[in-house]
Amino acid sequence: MVSYKDLGLVNTREMFKKAKEGKYAVPAYNFNNMEQIQAIITACLETQSPVILQVSSGARKYADQTLLRYMGQGAVEMMKAHAAEKGLKEIPIALHLDHGDTFELCKSCIDSGFSSVMIDGSHHSFEDNIALTKQVVEYAHQHDVTVEGELGVLAGIEDDVVAAKSVYTQPEEVVEFVEKTGVDSLAISIGTSHGANKFKPEQCTKNEEGVYIPPELRFDILEEIEKQIPGFVIVLHGSSSVPIEAVKIINENGGALKDSVGIPEAQLRKASQSSVCKVNIDSDGRLWMTAAIRKHFIENPTHFDPRQYLGPARVALIEMYKHKNENVLGSAGKA
């Protein structure tokens, strides 16, 4: 067994304590390859933001579970080297399993050095969700690993997570769930959704500038949950904003993405000032990376060296992550 402490990682307990006090959310960014992890660490170090590196079960299948663990350790070493070189303060980094669906998967990640895991039992009955989550918590806490549970179902598709429609979290269930499971944080469903196709234009209204405005998140549910479990750490999944600029660049350079609307950044900023201490962002990174690569190929049809097109993609990601930390989540300067 490998302890996350030996890899230089931290769990999320202290991160969330500071986020609650400072009224901001810690960014949780998914990664699958080297360029993504380089961009995340560079952006978070330069904005002095704590960060949660997220690995989905799909990422583990794609990149190999051992390699991902070493990438997490490498991220810490990269951060320390760049901090020393640039005279910056080191930032805390957690390595988190996103949407683990079995005890065995969570245990495997804990044993290989993850400092935080999510057990998503939302597809089970309420009672079975409690039982599964409690089982993971009992094992994780023996190794000082923090655990995120989930109540409610987010619509959409992301890796192995598929749901046809959202089921809002029921505020009256959260107290029993938290008390019986012992989880450290709780992912809830208040209108966000997985993937890039969150809202269709016909589900939205248009403002004077012709911009589509999606239905507002259910802040009333969030407020009621806060009353039921005051001070408890809340997590928002499916929080990408699906930037129109990135979609436009993709489609202008050979793509065929459907019109879609994401979660407005103003709503995410509002949520980040509440009990929401962790916000998951994945699709926005995929969109900007794809946009940069497609544009590069159209402008440079003779290029074939991966460094030539992955370099611009990394730059695009760095700028996006900086923007999220500084202007959306409020985590910049909070390392």
Give the catalytic positions in this structure: 98
What residues have CB less than 8 Å from 104, skipping those under 6 apart? none
Whole-angstrom Cα distance, residue 37 to residue 186? 25
- Give the C-alpha separation, 112 to 65, whole Å: 9
Distance CA(272)–CA(24), nearest Å, equals 5
Quick one: tokens of 83?
């901090």
Token digits for 239?
């929080």
CA atoms of 255 and 251, how far apart (whole Å):
4
- Coil, helix or strand at residue 301: coil
Q: What is the rounded CA–CA span in Å between residue 166 and residue 189?
A: 7
Cα angle at 324 between 219 and 183, to 5 degrees?
55
Q: How far, in whole angstroms, is CA 173 from its chain's centroid?
A: 24
Task: From 99, 100, 95, select the one nearest 112 (Cα to Cα).
Answer: 95
Which tokens is 28 given?
């949780």
Instruction: Show the beta-strand stretches assigned E in the chain.
Output: 26-30, 51-56, 93-100, 116-119, 146-151, 156-158, 161-163, 185-188, 205-206, 212-213, 234-236, 276-281
Comparing CA positions, the residue from 137, 119, 141, 132 lying closest to residue 187 is: 119
